[in-house]
Structure 1
């Protein structure tokens, strides 16, 4: 979801207090070789940075300074005089040291033995769960958060582009980054005030939003939710810090000594507290690590100040830089509480220094802490769907009085600039184009045409297929929505359609009624766990690219009436009544079944009424919006789904009595710095006698693309089962292995491995009524396959290689296959 939002900004802007001392340059040795991770600070201050992998640095201060101090382990410290204002393109040469001073000098990788920095680090580990908010049973505080997006690396050619003719006023708010020294143009700002409550005894926390204000890209809590996922909360004491769906190793991690070098650099009083300064930098390139330094108190071993800068070679896409600063206040002499958190990210299509991009900056300020004020358990229960419109409509006077720190002139100018842009026709056209590419819908009044990406398709029954559709759209939080489509196949010369309506009667518990009807041609053997989505249609039903024949398709006429309710946050219950007729859509495929045990009478069409009850639990799921339709922010959450269905023979001339029970469980797990493991388990059983059209079909994959929860080397209907159990494991190493291989390191490739298997059988009664001509084969001896893949090829391509592990002697068995997928991932 957040990739789309950034994409909007990229598309549009591809078309479309002052610092006193600024310094930038490069640190090299006597042989002109760059010195990475050298310490550069203003003389007689704590303001400074660490050079990057190429020895480059830039930073600035609001104060006036006359000299820099540059140092690195194994080299002599050097003082560099500065002139007033800007000092750019400095070349600083360090000489190798001749004597050891104050601390032990390390060269290259620092030793794990006799290193005073590691002794301090071990004491941080011992005390990390006894510092800050963890010292109290309960806590509460007020929080102010400001998120800003800026177009960066603005040059004269960009400003004079014809695309900005008539919009030159946007450049009135130009500024320069204090971290990178690059010019930038503010384009979006979002502010939020909230109250946070927590209970360390029950491990519960709740954040109450009091006010939210944004400058025009989107509205309401949709933008707020997007921002919260883009800039997820993190704790520097944790072993891993999640940014942009990637798990970086924290410099305070217990496993940090395996990926970082640590050096005790300095010690001094900070706010009357004696603190040690430790510099850290990565041992290897291309891993998800940081460089920087931190100050730690000598008695509590709590962090007083820390900065983190992601390695430029880190295996992360579309993000050129990540920079973080945290400052802690001291309460009652021994309690260190986070006072200020600043994070800046540089989003860009390229990591080249001169490439243009978008800065994303988040500033969070904390104050008014209170402790040991218990709340009842019901206080911490999350609201299912609570939306307070006044939160998003506070006055300018309210914000002037309540924001924790005032906005500077450029930040205030963003609101005015975007209000003005809304009146410029050229801006509207460009923004609408970006919205269409991102959402897939073309808006016309209160109706959206689309999705445009499903306009064309192909299968062996319909031939070339064209589809048009749309939905009502009055806003992202519509309480009701009607959507539909019509399609035409040029080979079968038939018109298909689907229409559905959903109405949210009670917004607080998301009580929704739905009704729909669909008549279409579908490949129904591509999912073990069935769905009652009346407009849902599988990718396999109209794939433009597929292997083998794809003629086992079914004419489906489905009508559903349903109700659903979210009883607790991310826990929902749903019931549906459905009536469907199924018949073969191809002369080469049959759904025939015997209507008597003597096998003398055959029927080709299935008529079936069914009552269904579903329970779904998705802990950790984040969604955008409060209307009848919501968007999921990402897919890294657990999902537990159970479904019970009952066929009702005789109701509307239905053919079968049966009961069907299905369970689905998906769990992503972080494996200690080695990526994520995704586990998917499905099981089900049909009690009663049913024909092929109602049977469970092990999902094959005849496309050339990766489709989740299918078997890459099975064709459609290779295996059928009326009871089954399926288990998939897929692990994403996120480049952890390839980063150790010198020739592959710079490619930032990512490794994927997986194994999947399914067991099942078919009852004798179901075999007896089968008249389709399809030989029922059940995976009674366990069908399994495994795959290995390479992801992040050219940043957008993943290729998997799959091998069959069993049933190798089946007719026309595919023993090896290649599958691919495309996508924008961090």
Structure 2
């Protein structure tokens, strides 16, 4: 049992592992604009701080919200047909100001009143749409890439804070020892929010861009971040946060935020999805005029922004300023609000460049509670130089980009080179978190959190786990117990060892694995870029054709399977592998393996005919592979890493050569496989994950060495497997497949009130596998290969694909309870095979925004 204090510690530390975002503003004005006579709200009224470019339109209910760090003292409210109103504002405070507008008095002689339908919004002859089309037409020349050469410095600051923490919390017994943390509150940067900083990371870098031949060189000048202790991979945490809050490029057709692709208000197709309104003409101090253009989604349930952009009238139609708010009606978990501010500065040549980007959000379990998590990512650009040619060598990639010196810059360096300033609370964050992580109680609690979340219990130089594999069961081994562990970077940064031992109480056999790895770059073997050599031996059971990503096969939840599950192999594998990843995400692998397969269950024994039987199959292989994943990102822990799927493709090609006579190998053969994975964002229709794969085996081999296609008989929905195919049902020596997994992100459900309230999202998938088996590898034509397995009645359970592809499709609902996906899966071909499931319901657990 976990004691009450320990449970509180778990909650406290768990909070520290969650991300959020924040904005720093001083003056907030909210209110409602109404007609003075009718008391009805007025929509699309222009509200702005007098003498500024900061403004907004009222919404359908007449409400508005403005914020600024400048000490403005007046609010200007204008609307066609009404008198302009000017209202006093108190700088530096949050206030509510409701405004009543009076109709303009006009002298008229005669009025004719006719009934007329309300004018419908249309793009035709709409000056706002004509203006946005000019902006779209001029996008390319207003991007930095329009110049032959561009260079600038970039200062990136990311801060995460608890918001509105109860004043009573630090007085409670458990939290008294952490009272110093609660004293570092910031109540002025964002009125209405009391912020408690917990995570801060800064990065300063220099960018050099060349148009022809195209090159983009980024030199990191300095990095600094809080250290949350050995239980947390601080670098991996920062990468995950940056994945949630990437830089927003308004000139791109779409921007990626919170795992979604938002269509830009100046995208090529923007007039089809947004409504545009000219709300004001503003004259700057240099007498330059801007048009304030407001926009709102045509359908407020689509993944779109709303807000304002300010367009120059100098013939360039450039964006001078933008305020983008995520539409609150879209289906995003835990996000109360998210906003992006973009500011552009004038170049000497009359063009504009981005000078500051500020992205902030407010997170919480529910919309009603004020407490939660808050954070901000502010990117400031300076020292902007265009069309200055640099030597060619400057644009060449460095051989080794990693330099520990950039992560240990002096405080004097940061004071001189920051393009922005730290608040008092931000500055104290480094010291406070350092003090926190050195407290024994915090370390103990962090250890428990690591056990619950990652499945490992640390003991300094060694850790035990994963906990999910301690117990499992299957028809061959019966009740199975397992214990294992691995060394950590505290043991060595070059040598890593891992292993486990397991025992099956039904087959009364021990299974085990031992392995050692040497890292050539003295980094964790789980961190990018990997460069290591590994040797291992494993003796264990395996189901032919079951392939799982990031999950152990003896995970207790996978012990539950449908249908007949008695096709097993005992495997002895002696392996040596060399892996080398390059900074450009190109990687190479080389390996060797001796593999002994012994049949078990209904696969016993291997046989060529009724009288020729084999107790095992031995092969010796050498292999090579190449993989290219440009732009790939990872969520990296200290002893694991999981790819974060983004818009970039992944290419892989693998070759395996079987060597007869070497180390007892019985067959010569070649196996070639290729695969492409790509996520396609189709704003506002969500995204689609598509993978295409193909392979060919050259040579004569028995069925255990053929392509045994990935089947799944568990009740979990496995993206990369065929969820209604039986284990070992299909084999081939040549095949091609395609897998499409579409996530609509609530595009349809958001239009149904109940589903919208539940935040359910719709999915659909389609999988097709086409292949064949040559006569020399088909036991129906050749007596030189093993006979296919049969059931107890002698009926075949393994088949070669014929001219009809194997196909299955599904429709599903995800985000149930915010982390459950349920799919109804239908098998579309080979329905005459025995003991198959023509349809089924499968479940997948995944946390997502």
- Per the normalisation by structure 1, the TM-score is 0.89
Give 3-state SS (helix, strand or coil) of 1:765's partner.
helix
Per-residue CA shift, 1:247-266, capped at 9, x if unaligned?
Answer: 01111122222332211111
- Residue 615 of structure 1, CA deviation: 1.5
Residue in structure 1 matched with residue 603 of structure 2 by the alignment: 589
Structure 1 residue runs of 5 or longer lacking an equivalent are 1-5, 101-105
1:725 to 1:97, Cα distance in 2 relative to 1, 3 A: farther
Residue in structure 2 matched with residue 816 of structure 1 by the alignment: 839
| Aligned equivalent of 2:306, options 285, 291, 296 | 291
Cα separation, 1, equivalents of 2:209 and 2:194: 40
1:762 to 1:379, Cα distance in 2 relative to 1, 3 A: farther
Q: 2:534 aligned with 1:514, yes or no?
A: yes
Cα separation, 2, equivalents of 1:405 and 1:67: 28
| Aligned equivalent of 2:667, options 656, 659, 679 | 656
- Residue 482 of structure 1, CA deviation: 1.4
- Residue 139 of structure 1, CA deviation: 1.0
Residue in structure 2 matched with residue 391 of structure 1 by the alignment: 406
1:569-580 to structure 2, matched below 5 A, reads 569-580=584-595
1:19 to 1:566, Cα distance in 2 relative to 1, 3 A: closer
1:663 to 1:467, Cα distance in 2 relative to 1, 3 A: same
Cα separation, 2, equivalents of 1:139 and 1:8: 45
Give 3-state SS (helix, strand or coil) of 2:125's partner.
coil
Per-residue CA shift, 1:695-748, capped at 9, x if unaligned?
Answer: 221222111111122112111111122222222222222222333445533333
1:575 to 1:329, Cα distance in 2 relative to 1, 3 A: same
Residue in structure 2 matched with residue 449 of structure 1 by the alignment: 464
Cα separation, 2, equivalents of 1:52 and 1:518: 64
After the TM superposition, which of the residue ranges 537-546 and 178-187 deviates more from structure 2? Answer: 537-546
Cα separation, 2, equivalents of 1:346 and 1:52: 21
1:271-310 to structure 2, matched below 5 A, reads 271-272=285-286, 273-299=288-314, 300-310=316-326
- Residue 463 of structure 1, CA deviation: 2.7
After the TM superposition, which of the residue ranges 189-198 and 489-498 deviates more from structure 2? Answer: 489-498
1:401-420 to structure 2, matched below 5 A, reads 401-420=416-435
Asked if structure 1 preserves the Cα contact closer than 8 Å seen for 2:501 and 2:513, the reply is: yes
1:652 to 1:74, Cα distance in 2 relative to 1, 3 A: farther
Asked if structure 2 preserves the Cα contact closer than 8 Å seen for 1:480 and 1:628, the reply is: no
Asked if structure 2 preserves the Cα contact closer than 8 Å seen for 1:477 and 1:625, the reply is: no
Asked if structure 2 preserves the Cα contact closer than 8 Å seen for 1:53 and 1:312, the reply is: no
Cα separation, 2, equivalents of 1:252 and 1:301: 11
Cα separation, 2, equivalents of 1:439 and 1:636: 27
Cα separation, 1, equivalents of 2:168 and 2:545: 56
Cα separation, 2, equivalents of 1:605 and 1:34: 81
Q: 2:125 aligned with 1:144, yes or no?
A: no
Asked if structure 2 preserves the Cα contact closer than 8 Å seen for 1:523 and 1:541, the reply is: no
Cα separation, 2, equivalents of 1:191 and 1:737: 40
Residue in structure 2 matched with residue 360 of structure 1 by the alignment: 375
Q: 2:560 aligned with 1:545, yes or no?
A: yes
1:219 to 1:546, Cα distance in 2 relative to 1, 3 A: closer
1:390 to 1:814, Cα distance in 2 relative to 1, 3 A: same
Q: 2:544 aligned with 1:524, yes or no?
A: yes
Give 3-state SS (helix, strand or coil) of 1:406's partner.
coil
Cα separation, 1, equivalents of 2:299 and 2:103: 23
1:220 to 1:800, Cα distance in 2 relative to 1, 3 A: closer
Residue in structure 2 matched with residue 103 of structure 1 by the alignment: none
1:629 to 1:795, Cα distance in 2 relative to 1, 3 A: closer
Cα separation, 1, equivalents of 2:217 and 2:491: 25
1:675-714 to structure 2, matched below 5 A, reads 675-714=686-725
1:452 to 1:25, Cα distance in 2 relative to 1, 3 A: farther
- Residue 46 of structure 1, CA deviation: 3.2
Residue in structure 2 matched with residue 371 of structure 1 by the alignment: 386
Residue in structure 2 matched with residue 236 of structure 1 by the alignment: 250
Cα separation, 2, equivalents of 1:341 and 1:770: 65
Structure 2 residue runs of 5 or longer lacking an equivalent are 1-9, 108-116, 524-528, 791-795
Give 3-state SS (helix, strand or coil) of 2:520's partner.
strand
1:200-219 to structure 2, matched below 5 A, reads 200-217=211-228
Cα separation, 1, equivalents of 2:481 and 2:45: 61
What is the RMSD of the two structures over their aligned residues, measured on CA atoms?
3.4
- Residue 626 of structure 1, CA deviation: 12
Q: 2:808 aligned with 1:779, yes or no?
A: no
After the TM superposition, which of the residue ranges 68-77 and 168-177 deviates more from structure 2? Answer: 68-77
Q: 2:650 aligned with 1:639, yes or no?
A: yes
- Residue 372 of structure 1, CA deviation: 2.8
- Residue 786 of structure 1, CA deviation: 1.4
After the TM superposition, which of the residue ranges 632-641 and 377-386 deviates more from structure 2? Answer: 377-386
Q: 2:346 aligned with 1:326, yes or no?
A: no
- Residue 117 of structure 1, CA deviation: 1.5
- Residue 140 of structure 1, CA deviation: 0.9
Asked if structure 2 preserves the Cα contact closer than 8 Å seen for 1:59 and 1:180, the reply is: no
Asked if structure 1 preserves the Cα contact closer than 8 Å seen for 2:462 and 2:491, the reply is: no
Cα separation, 1, equivalents of 2:213 and 2:369: 50
Asked if structure 2 preserves the Cα contact closer than 8 Å seen for 1:460 and 1:549, the reply is: no
- Residue 621 of structure 1, CA deviation: 0.9
Residue in structure 1 matched with residue 140 of structure 2 by the alignment: 129
Asked if structure 2 preserves the Cα contact closer than 8 Å seen for 1:486 and 1:496, the reply is: yes
Cα separation, 2, equivalents of 1:279 and 1:617: 42
- Residue 631 of structure 1, CA deviation: 4.9
1:181-196 to structure 2, matched below 5 A, reads 181-196=192-207
| Aligned equivalent of 1:261, options 275, 286, 290 | 275
- Residue 38 of structure 1, CA deviation: 5.4
Give 3-state SS (helix, strand or coil) of 2:745's partner.
coil
Asked if structure 1 preserves the Cα contact closer than 8 Å seen for 2:28 and 2:67, the reply is: yes
Cα separation, 2, equivalents of 1:12 and 1:572: 34
Give 3-state SS (helix, strand or coil) of 2:559's partner.
coil
Cα separation, 1, equivalents of 2:481 and 2:375: 40
Per-residue CA shift, 1:63-108, capped at 9, x if unaligned?
Answer: 54444334567877544444576454544556788999xxxxx979
After the TM superposition, which of the residue ranges 320-329 and 734-743 deviates more from structure 2? Answer: 734-743
Cα separation, 2, equivalents of 1:198 and 1:484: 48
- Residue 555 of structure 1, CA deviation: 0.6
